[in-house]
Structure 1
Amino acid sequence: MSYILTDEQVVSALRSVVEENPEKVYEAPINMRSSTDKNQCYYVHRAEDGTEECGCLVGTVLHRLGVSLADLAKAETLGATVALSRAGVVGVSYRVASLLAHAQRDQDQGRTWSEALKKAVTADAELHSTPLPGCGQELAAA
């Protein structure tokens, strides 16, 4: 399945998810943790009883925008920029995909979702003189 998303939709959903859970520090479920990579994140969490729910920050954002858990699961172990296409997402610019990748990396390093977003926005601002699509400068204050 394909999901046509705009940069504005993705950035808006990212902001909303972070605003709802600013102090969340991502942790993979114990039953999914890798013995070799303690910082591995999962787009989809699978409980021991087989139930599923969205997992990391990027997985939560994409699921909120309608990407199914089954399609997100196809992107497990991939970084955010590649995961978008593997999950069937089209229409998102490389810039916004990179924003997601930066936020995911910082989340994986144990930062809160609000810290991860701020660092991602700062990294974006260092590369671009224009604000992120649909955001203005207020995103940095999120």
Structure 2
Amino acid sequence: MSITSDDVIRTLREVVDEQPDHVYQRPADMDGSEPCLYVHTDETGAQVPGCVVGHVVSRLGVSLSNVADHEGTNASGLLEVLRISVGDDTAEFLDTVQGHQDLGFSWREALMRADEEKAGTEL
């Protein structure tokens, strides 16, 4: 499976466009200390995407069980262990979006802030 930087960014924007006002909340019944989880378990016991990055990699065809093995890894580290080579700019952008989501911003706001920060570094 070959995933490009454009694939990651396009998929991220699609996920955010579908749920722009979503504010991630970690399920209270999930173990661990991470502020967010890539993968949740629904009421039937099935694995489902959790945070915005979990949604992105799942939609790109990555197995959620493989993703769940790397909880606690930042977004760029997750891409690395999954052998998704997208370059530092895209990996750092995903880290930034994830970081804003973890601070309690809606997915739209997290993406907007990451876009603004990226634009500020390109001046």
Give the counterpart letter for 1:43 in structure 2.
Y
Percent identical = 37
Whole-angstrom distance in 1 between the partners of 2:25 and 2:70? 18
TM-score scaled to structure 2, two decimals? Answer: 0.91
**8 A Cα contact 1:31 1:47, kept in partner:** no
Whole-angstrom distance in 1 between the partners of 2:40 and 2:2? 24
The one of 105, 109, 116 equivalent to 1:122 is 116
Whole-angstrom distance in 1 between the partners of 2:104 and 2:83? 27
**8 A Cα contact 1:106 1:119, kept in partner:** yes
Aligned to 1:98: 92
Larger Cα-atom Rg? 1
Please state how far the C-alpha of 1:49 moved relative to its aligned partner.
Answer: 4.8
In structure 2, the gaps of 5 or more residues are none
Q: Which 4+ runs in 1 deviate beyond 4 A?
A: none
Give the counterpart letter for 2:117 in structure 1.
A
Aligned to 1:74: 69
Whole-angstrom distance in 1 between the partners of 2:102 and 2:93? 14
Task: Please show how residues 29-108 of structure 1 align to structure 2 within 5 Å.
Answer: 29-32=27-30, 34=32, 37=33, 40-47=35-42, 49-86=44-81, 88-108=82-102
Whole-angstrom distance in 2 between the partners of 1:114 and 1:33? 27
Please state how far the C-alpha of 1:89 moved relative to its aligned partner.
Answer: 3.3
TM-score scaled to structure 1, two decimals? Answer: 0.80
CA distance 1:79–1:123, shift in 2 (3 Å):
same
